[in-house]
Amino acid sequence: MRFTLRKGVKFHETGAANSTRKRDLNLDKVLNDKAPQFDKRQSGRSRPACPRSPARQIDDDTVEITTKKIDSFFPYQIALVPGLEPAQYEKLGKTGTSSPASPPAPGPFKLTKLVRANSPELTKNEDYWNKKRIPKTDRLI
């Protein structure tokens, strides 16, 4: 399967969206126990959904992942691998995990505040890639 980043998509935290570093960081996070970002807890949950063969970089925006056998659930399973944006990984002190208070996201809303087990606060993302779908609501709680 080939995954291509949509042009103009940027992560809230850094504005970057490079598939090469993101792919390496996130797949190694759950597959490579020698990688500095390896996360044992996330690996236990995500490893069954991950391919066992390496991903191949086609260009800066495209990654190709080959599974060992036909797997119609793969597109859904790969979404179980928790994402971490490389610049955010650096910012969080190379912990290997994203904080619930700072998830990697390119969506129409930004998480601006999180009260655990209570409520998130979201604000409109003016830089959302799809200008027609920028929220009309400024804030959600």
Q: Mind listing the pLDDT tens digit for each residue in 106-129?
A: 788 888 888 877 788 899 988 888
CATH number for position 21: 3.90.76.10
> Is 39 a residue whose pLDDT tops 60?
yes
By C-alpha distance, which of 25, 32, 37, 62 is closest to 47?
A: 32
pLDDT the model gives residue 134: 92
Contact 59, 69 (CB under 8 A): no
Same domain, 28 and 81: yes
Task: Look up residue 141 and give its amino acid.
Answer: I
Q: Is residue 101 part of a domain?
A: no
Q: What is the C-alpha separation between 30 and 48, in angstroms, rounded?
A: 10
54 lies in some domain: yes
**How far is C-alpha 9 from the geometric centre of its chain's CA atoms?**
12
* 87 close to 95: Cβ distance less than 8 angstroms: no
Domain that holds residue 17: 2-96
Cα dihedral sign for 103, 67, 38, 45?
positive
Q: Indicate whether 102 belongs to any domain.
A: no
Q: Which residue has the higher pLDDT, 3 or 139?
A: 139
**Neighbouring C-beta atoms of residue 102, cutoff 10 Å:** 16
Question: What domain count does the chain have?
Answer: 2
16, 72: one domain: yes
The residue assigned the tokens 């998830």 is 103
> According to the model, what pLDDT value does residue 16 have?
61
Residues 21 and 49 in one domain: yes
